[in-house]
Structure 1
Amino acid sequence: MVKRWPFTGILSDKPEENPDFFNWNRVILRYCDGASFAGEGEDKAAGLQFRGQRIWLAGMEELMSKGMQKANQALLSGCSAGGLASILHCDEFRGLFPSSTKVKCLGDAGLFLDAINWYGTRTMRNIFDGTVSLQEVAKNLPSSCTNRLNATSCFFPENLIANIKTPLFLINSAYDSWQVKNSLIPTNDPNGCRHSHLKCSTSQIKFFQEFRNHMLTAINSFSTSKQNGWFINSCFTHCHTEHQDLWFAIDSPRIGNKRVAIAVGDWFFNRAESRNTDCPYPCDKTCRNMV
């Protein structure tokens, strides 16, 4: 029996769940390479091949042959590693279409930061360094970045987003729960903060506030382009677009009474400026469903 992907959130075909994109053609490109579709390496001795970039190209070639080349408008989106993939391949995706096609990109929970963790080391950099080296990702990273920084640094979105030419929207929690558990506090602490922010000490919450400041600084240069937008809230969560309760529901998180789905729709369809930055934790009471 083939398991069907749950089409919810931005993938839903119900207008009450997905008001702006419910009647679009929606396609999921299954993630399988471990490097956000950017790998192009080989270890013959170990019998390993990494072909993320080729998988991406093959997927796009098939979709274009099935009619995507006739699209009037297109949105490349993804969450987590898929959010990073959407950022990495954004301009490449734009290049598939004629100039008359409206093309934009959405990176959900893909703003992984090169942050110092609670113990004074850089967990995320160590993870990315291994990935970039093993899969030889450098050859597929933008030269606008690799001309000035090393390849590992150029796998971090904070060093890429300012130079992306295609309109881009970023969705992220300023206290991304995946980064809290896997990067900021990568091993268990005595009071259990890693698993629940309600158990964090005052000093740990202050540490998270510094992480939030890092994220807001990271989008400063990105914000100079009026074509870009964002939704940075203060809920301890990871990924919004594919979860109905976070995307568009009665109790979905809001910034200024605006839910994620409406913020994205305002940006894509140019209805209004969509630059949404939440106040610091714990002021946002719409995060009650994240407790």
Structure 2
Amino acid sequence: MIMKLVLLWVLGLWSVSGIDLSRSESFLSYLDEEVTMSPGSTTTLIVPLTLIQGAASKGAVCLDGTLPGYHLHRGFGSGANSWVIHLEGGGWCNTIRSCVFRKTTRRGSSKFMEKSINFTGILSNKAEENPDFYNWNRVRVRYCDGASFAGEGQNEANKLYFRGQRIWLAAMEELMAKGMQNANQAILSGCSAGGLASILHCDEFKNLFPETTKVKCLSDAGLFLDATNVAGGHTLRDMYEGVVTLQGVQKNLPSTCTSQKDPTSCFFPQNLVSNVKTPMFLLNAAYDAWQVDQSLIPSLADPHGLWRACKTDRSHCNSSQIQFFQVREKRYLVRE
């Protein structure tokens, strides 16, 4: 397996003002927000939503039971037989309450999804913005399950459907039928919770294709710290344990990990990447605003606001606070 890790050593990435990162009700990540907002520019490629009509018969439905969907823009020229699949991110839901809330949003129901979205970044059709993939078949798979496309189960009392794994399979089946089966090269990418999903499903994606197809994976901001917060708690581990248990994720985690570790540990990607056989590229900021806020310094762990200034502006961090970040960055650094 070829693996490369790119770390952006930019302290300013988490020095964000004017953004509310405290939406603990649904653990929605702001990392993936902008590119899924309603189209606001006529110069940006706008791609309509396609619902997977055959998904319901497979039980592959969003949290509220609606059909899952994706956005596809066809490739052309030299990229006509090449595909980029991007798995949307947007946090997780770990309790009945948070999942019930989530199903009233685009993260849990196609009823609330935008009917069309902007294609930017790796999905852009502009050669100057996206020189390597602008003319490939480019797909954004919408995220409406709350468990990184990995859950399996349901909660009858609250009419919640935890069908992330089935959504993944239904989306791949439909895209294969739409020409992806003929791909000569394919990339599975994802951001945030979608970046975790791209790791979880990387080898599954590779196995869809014949050996002659070149397949690689890209996880953007998909590594999450199993870290101790400033109060000595384990915010993200506790939340992940809820996701795994509530949504039946353990059924779909790699046995190469679950045979050695508990299911919650196997939802942390750092415990998965060494067993992924498909070439994978990992892109993660050394200082990630979402993880600083939700994992290392959640509001509940800082009741007196001692870290508030530091979270808002890194130049306001004292030496011990900077050391706190650096120790955790070194501990979780993955080398090539």
Scaled by the length of structure 2, the TM-score of the pair is: 0.63
Aligned to 1:206: 323
Q: Which amino acid aligns with 2:225?
A: L
| Partner-residue secondary structure (3-state), 2:230 | coil
User: In structure 2, how many angstroms separate the alpha carbons of the residues matched to 1:62 and 1:88?
Assistant: 20
Q: Secondary structure at the match of 2:324?
A: helix
User: Structure 1 stretches (4+) deviating beyond 4 angstroms?
Assistant: none
Matched-pair contact (CA < 8 Å) for 1:186–1:194: no
1:160 alignment counterpart? 272
Map of 1:238-257 to 2, 5 A cutoff? none
Is 1:110 the counterpart of 2:110? The answer is no
In the alignment, what sits opposite 1:44?
A: 156
Equivalence for 1:137:
249
Residue 182 of structure 2: aligned partner: 70
The one-character-per-residue Cα deviations of 1:167-197 (angstroms, maximum 9, x if unpaired) are 0000000111110011011115334222332
Instruction: Identify which of 78, 82, 88 aligns with 2:194.
Output: 82
**RCO higher in structure (CA 8 A, sep ≥6):** 2
| 1:126 is aligned to 2:238 | yes
Q: Per-residue displacement from partner, 1:80-104 (whole Å, max 9, x unpaired)?
A: 0000000000000001000000000
Counterpart of 2:332?
215
Pairwise CA distance, 1:3: 4.7
Contact 1:113/1:157, CA 8 A, preserved across alignment: no
What's the CA shift string for 1:81-131, capped at 9, x where partnerless?
Answer: 000000000000001000000000000000011011111111110110000
Give the partner amino acid of 1:204.
Answer: Q
Percent identity of paired positions between Structure 1 and Structure 2? 64
Long gaps (5+) in structure 1: 224-291
Deviation, structure 1 residue 79: 0.4
Matched residue, 1:174: 286
The AA in structure 2 aligned to 1:202 is S
Deviations 1:232-291 (A, max 9, x none): xxxxxxxxxxxxxxxxxxxxxxxxxxxxxxxxxxxxxxxxxxxxxxxxxxxxxxxxxxxx
1:99 is aligned, of 211, 215, 222, to 211
Match status 1:148 vs 2:265: no
Q: Distance in 2 between matches of 1:139 and 1:38?
A: 9
Question: Which residue identity is paired with 1:208?
Answer: F
Q: CA deviation at 1:13?
A: 1.0
Question: Alignment RMSD, CA only?
Answer: 1.4
- Contact 1:174/1:211 (<8 A) preserved: no
**1:67 alignment partner AA:** G
How many Å separate the matches in 2 of 1:181 and 1:175? 11
Name the counterpart of 1:21: 133
- Distance in 2 between the 1:48 and 1:24 partners? 36
1:185 is matched with which residue?
Answer: 297
SS at structure 1 position matched to 2:117: coil
Number of aligned residue pairs: give it: 219
1:144 counterpart SS class = helix
1:54 corresponds to which of 166, 185, 196 = 166
Report deviation, 1:20. Answer: 1.1
AA matched with 1:29: V
